Amino acid sequence: MKHWPTTLLLCLALLPAAPALAQSCNSTAPITSPNERFRDNGDGTITDLSSGLIWSRCSLGQQWRNKHCEGQPRPLLWSTAALLPSDGWRLPELKELAALVELQCVRPAINLKLFPNTPPASYWTATRFVNRDGEYWQVLFLQGASIPEREDAAALVRLVREGDREP
């Protein structure tokens, strides 16, 4: 029963978009994920020019088509999410994924121009929660919080890979 709030949030996030769940932004708050920090690679990936990391613009389960993420992301257990990446793709560390949070917005707390059709849901990281075995950090893009969760809970995945840093 301890995991019902996370499960409920994930289920709500996977429902078709409704006005009550539409992104809301406060233009007076500082921008934390500006467009200028990223380069569109034209292939469904985006490079963070400050870290050099290359991000999938779509959540796992979605497809990049017509400059948009189509389909529904797949919630996965941590153990499954950790085994899926290949060809240099991996689960991001907590610090890496948290760097995508746009604190100016909620529902979701991410720049939707850069990462379209991102649900306001929890996303896995590769970072283990050191205080309890079997728990890993998630970034909740509902409002941008980081939370620990048991590895047998389901969450979404955004993959990352190493890239070249801009000079």
Q: Where are the domains of the chain?
A: 4-10+25-161
Task: Determine phi and psi for 62, rounding to 5 degrees.
Answer: -95, 160
**The pLDDT of residue 98 is above 60:** yes
Q: What pLDDT sits at residue 107? A: 97
User: At the topology level of CATH, where does 4-10+25-161 sit?
Assistant: Mannose-Binding Protein A; Chain A (3.10.100)
Q: What pLDDT sits at residue 85? A: 82
Q: What pLDDT sits at residue 118? A: 97
Q: What pLDDT sits at residue 131? A: 85
Q: What pLDDT sits at residue 165? A: 58
Residue type, 87: D
Rounded to whole angstroms, how far apart are CA atoms 61 and 58?
8
Q: Note the pLDDT tens digit of each residue in 30-63.
A: 999 999 999 999 999 999 999 999 999 999 999 9
Q: What DSSP string describes 109-159? A: -B-TTTSTT--SSEEEEEEE-TTSTTEEEEEETTTTEEEEEETTSEEB---
Q: What pLDDT sits at residue 132? A: 87
**The pLDDT of residue 102 is above 60:** yes
